[in-house]
Amino acid sequence: MGGFISFLERRVMPVAGRVAEQKHLQAIRDGIILVMPLLIIGSLFLIIGFLPIPGYDEFMANTFGDQWRTKLLYPVNATFDIMALIVGFGVAYRLAEKYKVDPLSAGAIAVAAFLLATPNWIMFTPEGATAATQIDGVIPRTLMGSQGLFVSMLIAVLSTEIYRKIIQKNIVFRMPDGVPPAVSRSFVALIPAFVILLATWLLRILIENTSFESIHNIVSTVLAAPLNALGGTLIGGIVAVLVVHILWAVGIHGAAIVDGVLGAVWLTLMDQNRVVFQQNPAAELPNIITKQFFDMWIYAGGSGATLALVILMLLRARSQQMKSTGRLSIGPGLFNINEPVIFGMPIVMNPLLIIPFILCPFVLVIISYFAMSWGLVAKPSGVSVPWTTPPIISGYLATGGKISGSILQIVNIFISLLIYYPFFRLWDKQKWLEEQGNLTAQNVGKDSTAQM
Amino acid sequence: MNILLCCSAGMSTSLLVQRMEEAARERGMQGRIWAVSAEEVMNNLDQAEVVLLGPQVRYKLPQLKKEGEAKGIPVDVISPLDYGTLNGKNVLEFALRLANK
């Protein structure tokens, strides 16, 4: 076991470090963070729109009119349905920042390029008509949301790469002396913006002549579909938690690294559920593995589902060290922050405690997955609940107000208690013996001085 | 003395900030101690006199050390034990030692 840890330290840590420091993955992760506050606010309206209280719908319709839900959901459309636009801007901004070139220009160019790559028409079937007509001059909202996410991130990364290469090669318009710096700076973006938009335009025209018809269709066939299939399966979920916890075992923030790679996939899967839920809250939702699946049902108390461990420390610890770690950890633990446990207990580099720390989330993924796929527990509805929301409340909210979501959280905490218990006892006993040993040693010391 | 702490989301370090502020008050120290997330750390670097990383983001050390030292700002990782036990006093002393170096 000691060999395993030193292997992780030597081999896995440098790789994890390189992944975490990879500029484009970092920019994608940070760009996604930009849209999270909006999604949480949108979720608030989503929850209010579908409160599972008997008679609620009739009450709302009588009070606010038949259109109450449509109107209530306006903010949902303005948050969830424009996430590709916002994320694209955010990714370009953060990437440009890393290259130390003007991030605002890079963000603006990326948004323009994304819109240029997107068809500006939709097909619409008027009532009573048999064939769909093409409506021109619109921005298709479906492609501005999660469906356009991969295209927008891809364009943001590529356009910012072109942008910074041209700037760094110093191919810019130079204004004569005496022109205010603010004016000349706005001309700097001119050449790179022209090159990027020209390239996107040519690409779009080229693709329109193929059977793919749009860049969106290519990306969803080539990239998005296989990624979603991989990230959305039980096996994908298991691999993700294993990687997260093996990284944590050597003391690296595993979730931050895995989110960089799979964050966009989980966000897309989550939004597929939201779209179905918004149409009909009683409908069968397509995905189980989403961002919420991990945050709400696997990580109670933080990575490793350590809330149960903290409860054990509070209730059953004999050693002073475990008692005080328990008291220190319960406050943050309720909000799913567990660095005090991970480094204080410690779990990091600890061959004994790493076993339940990896085993526990592994078991919880399997149990939660089957509980949801067999229909015992409601699936995450696409409502975006902050990961710091305490368990039991968060499970209720993330399922769009289903009590089964909370019950599964309670069951999962109980299962974690069982898994952690024997390991906790061994560790606590060892700490207790150490403390007793110290005490006796001190007493012996005192006695001998007294005799002298 | 301005001390900047950094972890993944700036959450667990902010717990440590409280403890460090207590320790700083006891010493009668002036200055600002604050915590930010990993993506914000570059924007805060200039205001710091010393930068401390949570052990869970220690893979950021090489990059930040380079950026920090170009500006004469020492950067290092907090000891996992002090981090886990939220030992504000030890971490504060660690920061002072780094800054004097």
Q: Note whether A343 contacts B80, CB cutoff 8 Å.
A: yes
- Residue from the list B38, B54, B81 with its beta carbon closest to the beta carbon of A339: B54
Catalytic residue among B3, B4, B5, B7: B7
Sort strands B50-53 and B75-77 into parallel, antiparallel or unpaired. parallel
Q: Note whether B55 contacts A251, CB cutoff 8 Å.
A: yes
Q: Which two tokens stand for residue A442?
A: 């001190």
- Beta bridge partners, A135, equal A122
**DSSP secondary structure code for residue A10 in this structure:** I
- pTM here is 0.83
The residue type of A373 is S
Does the predicted interface ipTM exceed a cut of 0.90?
no
Q: Note whether B38 contacts A343, CB cutoff 8 Å.
A: no
Q: Note whether B86 contacts A33, CB cutoff 8 Å.
A: no
Q: Locate the chain A residue with the closest alpha carbon to B86.
A: A340
Q: Note whether B12 contacts A20, CB cutoff 8 Å.
A: no
Using beta carbons and an 8 Å cutoff, which residues of A are at the interface with B? 13, 16-17, 20-21, 26, 29-30, 33, 94, 97, 248, 251-253, 255-256, 325, 328, 332, 337-346, 348, 388
Give A-chain residues touching B86 at CB under 8 angstroms.
328, 340, 344
User: Tokens 């950094």 sit at which residue?
Assistant: B6
**Per-residue tens of pLDDT for chain A, all 452 residues:** 567 777 777 777 778 778 877 889 889 988 998 999 999 999 999 988 888 788 888 899 898 988 998 999 999 989 999 999 999 999 999 999 989 899 999 999 999 999 999 998 888 888 888 888 888 889 998 899 989 999 999 999 999 999 999 999 888 877 777 788 777 777 888 899 999 999 999 999 999 999 888 999 998 888 888 888 888 899 999 999 999 998 888 888 888 888 888 888 999 999 999 999 998 888 899 999 999 999 999 999 999 999 999 999 999 999 999 999 999 899 999 999 888 899 888 898 888 999 999 999 999 999 999 999 999 999 999 999 998 999 999 999 999 889 999 999 999 999 999 999 999 999 999 999 988 887 665 555 444 444 43
- Asked whether the beta carbons of A117 and A204 are under 8 A apart, the reply is yes
- Asked whether the beta carbons of B51 and A291 are under 8 A apart, the reply is no
Q: How long a stretch of residues is chain A?
A: 452
